[in-house]
Structure 1
Amino acid sequence: MSEAQTDDARQWKPAHNPWAIAVVVTLAAFMEILDTTIVNVALPHIAGSLSSSNDEATWALTSYLVANGIVLTISGWLAAVIGRKRYFLICIAMFTVCSFLCGIATSLPQLVAFRLLQGFFGGGMQPSQQSIILDTFPPSKRSAAFGVTAIATIVAPVLGPTLGGYITDTLNWRWIFFINLPVGVIAVIFVFILVEDPPWQKRISRHVDFIGLFLITLGLGALQVTLDRGEDEDWFGSRFIQITAVLAVVGIFGAIGWLLTAKKPVVSLEVFKDRNFTMGCVCIAATGAVLYAGAVVIPQFTQTLIGYNATWSGLILSPGGVAIIVLIPVVTQLMRFVQTRILIAAGFVIMGAAFVYSSQLTLDIDFRTLVIMRSAQTAGLAFLFVPISTIAYTTLPRELNGDATALFVMFRNVFGSIGIAIASSMIIQRLQVHQSYLSQWATPFHQPYNELVARYERALVAMGHSASSAHDVAVGKVYQVFQAQAAVLGYSDVFLLAGAVAFAVAPLCFLLSGVKGGGGGASVH
């Protein structure tokens, strides 16, 4: 690039209002993130409608996650080859078309194929959105712009199950896909009008790195299948999961080795030479893991043990989304006066304390307490997403923004999947541990156990049961209570682990640069 072209690049500004651009690109990303969770609650309805089992219907989720995870990493390369604006428009348009195809699917194989395509095109939307915001706003205003992004990234997974449950119960599962159509059309029109590629983006071109593409596809695809199907397939007791796990390890480590040595890799790992970006990825990975794990555990607890339906379980999460919207502007203002790394460390401490508080679960817990628990967890997220997203790119050359945003979002999503997998597996494993521990007290040789059985017997006799049958029914009732108590302790252990992870990451935040305002005064080349 000549000196005159360099000066033009430095002086470049978007032709349209940056905030209008931020809202439009975030609208598209919000639609895509919503689709990662909105399908979950509709799976039983999908299975029944398409004459398949619940286990088979789960592939509608797995196929989306596999394609999404693969494309996240290579989206920077695709945007460089095709042109970022053109690539973003293709992603939005085809995601919308695939949503329509999912809605009219008449068989499960059709739905899985269309979800695979939907995930492929949806995977490029989040990195492109972040990359556009990075280039649209100067460093001093990025924290406020990422506040808009945070609302979509954090609120969408929270809103998904609630909205999905409501639409499925009142309309039809097909409408969880059809609602994307008007949003997608609006996003395509306004992105076409408002968004433009900056000078440095237009001049990027790369050859096709087939080996890198193959290894990334193999590694991340197999990893997503392992994480999503592991619990259903009994993890490493299944030959299928053993194979996918081996392929994931071979693909991921092979890709890292190749990308570090290739002359023109499909993704540049040079971004990890920047300490702020590397630590930002560590922080966002931990944030994604606890965010998604917490969002899954509470609805599962309320539906399996307390008897809430999908809508009420989702409503527990909704006030947390409101808390995020209220707190993000406050955190954005604090970033002007407080070092960003201190705010991030504070966010992890708040989140850790919230998860420890959330571990105090009981069978008779009320709706209000559950809402407070989840709201406390999301309060910590308000101190994390915007500061992490801002400082991660502070000292990174803007020519690497495409690769950086792709890898950054990939870390958040992949570790989100890991968090969900660990939480789901741990609930079952810890339930069995607590069952083993509690069983020593559930014997006729333990007087409190005998008293509890006797109390149930008296209640059953008073209700009209015969004395001969009351004892057996009473023992069954006590066993149900025993099972439920063990399960509650298992859920509590998951929250304690999430709290421990948050506390462990907090000291690492001080490896980030000691800047304020997300590094607004830092030089970004």
Structure 2
Amino acid sequence: MTSTTDTPRGALVPAAADQKVDLRTWVAVAAGMLGAFMAVLDIQITNSSLKDILGTLSATQEEGSWISTAYLCAEIVVIPLAALLVRVFTMRGYMIGTTAAFLVFSTLCGWAWNLESMIVFRMLQGFTGGALIPMAMTLVMVKLPPSKRATGMAIFGLTATLAPTMGPTLGGYLSELYGWPSIFYINWVPGLLLIFGVWWGLDKEKMALKMLAHADWVGIAFMATGLACLTIFLEEGNSKDWFDSGFIITFAALALVGIVGWVATSMTRAEPFVNLRLYGDRNFLVATALSACVGMGLYGASFLLPLYLGQIAGYTPMQIGKVIMWAGLPQLLVMPFAAALSSKVDNRILCSIGLGLFGVSCMMNSHMDATTGYDQLLWSQVVRALGVPFIMLTLSNFAMQGISQNNMSSASSLFNMTRNLGGSVGIALLATALTNREHFHSARLGESISSYAGATQQRLDQMTQVFVASGVDPVTAANQALAALDRIVRRESYIMAYNDAFVIMGFVLIGCIGVLWFANKVKSPSGASGAGAH
């Protein structure tokens, strides 16, 4: 990709190769990382507390799905807008303003009095917090010289991978100890640190409010419609039987119209609000495609394991958190090692190792049974934690290598948007696979467990005798034995469906290794040399 020498009004100017990084800069970058971590964390943090939230708000499980959907819709819409918003309000002004609004809406989520108010506040929370994700990546590229970007990208990678795994853990602990509103109030701690860090670490600049008058509002409207409707289609599709529902068909059509309109307007404007032409760069295209698949793995694993542990193993949110945390904690040790290697070894090799380890960890989870719990899942979580840092760091390098200075915000926005979309697509596909495979296995098991079979009759007789021995009359005991056998069949069907879902994830992640090698060779800059592709 060719780099331009002209810097448009409001564009961010990267640090010089030999620039010394002072304390203020590191504080600003750390503050940006806190923002990204906080925004990603809030996607998952309600999952383990959803039952308590729904009980307080008198809502059903299906209605409660909109609590997460509203946040995701708003977040996915604002991420592509980050490049424009930073040029208009400056990095310092926008990060402080949007974080302050995020904290207000987080507090209002804890004060929600019914489901409708919760959905509105979650949507506003997502809209104000979503842009913090790409801005953290942009800060690394703009404020750190090439020799320090591997360190910055390593920290950014941790925010993207630790947050989804820590969300259910932190949410479970806070809900059990202090009640579910505390999962929203906790945002004040990193939020205030972020505001102070950005206020002190970044220089004040003049805003360019006149740019709003010339913005591509038609393209923005198409983008917002397309991405929001696509998210709703993906999040609600499984529960509404996909294209058997007029509601889902409507949102699928709106998503298609919005995305096609967005692409068309973007390609016909000289200065679109986000540069979709970046997808024409081979490394960027490969990086974003793989980022979507990794997003499926990250959010898919964070979706499947807590669901399995709660439904099959009967774990409490706090117990689930103790299992999930092992997918996060080892990353703190691995990431510095990955950052050091990324400047010495072809990043395609490192990313292949990471994808292989992540895929193997999913395969290790494909042999679960009714007794699987903490001890059996520990090592698969550790293997996953060893692989993920190599993936996230190197994909960031592939995506941002060779990007011209005026396209850095656009590249960061598109890279993070694609990962989040991959997570939504992955969860939708896995939820559908889980439902379909449960029905399949239930039918197969039902065929083999006939009431006329000797083994089945013997098992029913044994269970009936157990119920009779507890004081139940023979007729009721026989009915209870049949019901108990049906529950066992359903449980085993679900376990096999969970195993199938992990196999699907494992094959997708391992298959990504082949796609990865279509990218050019890349290493992280290790000294004062430029940031071009090697």
- TM-score bin (small chain): over 0.9
Do the aligned partners of 1:24 and 1:191 also contact (CA within 8 Å) in 2?
Answer: yes
Q: Relative to 1, partners in 2 of residues 1:242 and 1:303: Cα closer, same or farther, differing over 3 Å?
A: same
CA distance 1:445–1:109, change in 2 (3 Å): closer
**Does 1:331 find its partner at 2:320?**
no
- Counterpart mapping for 1:118-517 below 5 A: 118-196=125-203, 207-517=214-524
Partner of 2:75: 68
Corresponding position of 1:27:
34
Residue 48 of structure 1 is matched in structure 2 by 55
What secondary structure sits across from 1:58 in the alignment?
helix
What secondary structure is seen at the aligned counterpart in 2 of 1:111?
helix
Provide the TM-score with structure 1 as the length reference: 0.93
Which letter does structure 2 place at the counterpart of 1:516? K
Shift of 1:445: 4.1
Task: Judge conservation of contact 2:357–2:387 (CA < 8 Å) in 1.
Answer: yes
Q: Which consecutive residues of structure 2, in runs of 5 or more, have no partner in the other structure?
A: none
2:216–2:272 Cα contact (<8 Å) kept: yes
Q: Quick check: 512-521 or 177-186, which moved more? A: 512-521
Q: Could you say which residue in structure 1 is the equivalent of 2:65?
A: 58
- The 1:106–1:428 alpha-carbon spacing in structure 2 relative to 1, beyond 3 Å, is same
CA change 1:197–1:154 in 2 (3 A) is: farther
CA distance in 2, matches of 1:12, 1:519: 14
CA distance in 2, matches of 1:245, 1:282: 21
Within a 5 Å distance, the mapping from 1:9-20 to structure 2 comes to 10=16, 16-20=23-27
Query: Larger deviation: 487-496 or 513-522?
Result: 513-522
Calculate the aligned-residue CA RMSD, in Å.
Answer: 2.7
Q: How many residues align?
A: 523
Q: CA distance change for structure 1 residues 444 and 102 in 2, over 3 Å: closer, same or farther?
A: closer
The residue type paired with residue 380 of structure 2 is M
What does the per-residue CA deviation read over 1:230-285, in whole Å, with 9 as the maximum and x for residues that have no partner? 23323222211111111111111221122122233221123223222111111111
* C-alpha spacing 1:106/1:523, structure 2 compared with 1 (3 Å): closer
Distance 1:2 1:255, change over 3 A: closer
Distance (Å, rounded) in 1 between the aligned partners of 2:210 and 2:136: 18
Q: Paired residue for 1:114? A: 121
Give the distance between the partners of 2:208 and 2:515, measured in 1 at CA: 37
Whether the 8 Å contact between 1:135 and 1:198 is mirrored in structure 2 is no
1:72 touches 1:127 (CA, 8 Å); kept in 2? yes
- The letter for the 2-side match of 1:306 is A
SS state at 2:367 partner: coil
**Aligned residues of 1:13 and 1:136 also touching (Cα < 8 A):** no
1:17 positional shift? 4.7
Kept in 1, the 8 Å contact 2:226–2:255? The answer is yes
Secondary structure of 1:233's aligned partner: coil
Question: In the alignment, is the contact (CA less than 8 A) between 1:286 and 1:415 conserved in 2?
Answer: yes
Q: CA deviation at 1:290?
A: 0.8
Checking the alignment, whether the CA contact within 8 Å between 2:13 and 2:405 is kept in structure 1 is no
Report the 3-state secondary structure (helix = DSSP H, G, I; strand = E; otherwise coil) of the residue aligned with 1:477. Answer: helix
Distance 1:22 1:441 in 2: 60
| Cα distance in 1 between the residues matched to 2:305 and 2:525 | 33
Match of 1:82 in 2: 89
Q: Is the partner of 2:80 in helix, strand or coil?
A: helix
| Residue 198 of structure 1: how far off its partner (Å) | 9.7
- Give the TM-score of the pair, scaled to structure 2: 0.91
Q: Which amino acid aligns with 1:474?
A: A
1:204 is displaced (CA, Å) by 12
CA positional deviation for 1:461? 4.5
Question: What is the identity percentage for the equivalent residue pairs of Structure 1 and Structure 2?
Answer: 28
Q: Would you say the 8 A contact 2:354–2:391 is kept in 1?
A: yes
Letter in 2 for 1:320: A
The residue type paired with residue 391 of structure 1 is F
| Cα shift readout 1:337-383 (whole Å, capped 9, x = no counterpart) | 32101111121112222211210011111321122222322322122
How many angstroms apart in 1 are the aligned matches of 2:525 and 2:258?
35
* Counterparts of 2:530 and 2:384, CA distance in 1: 32
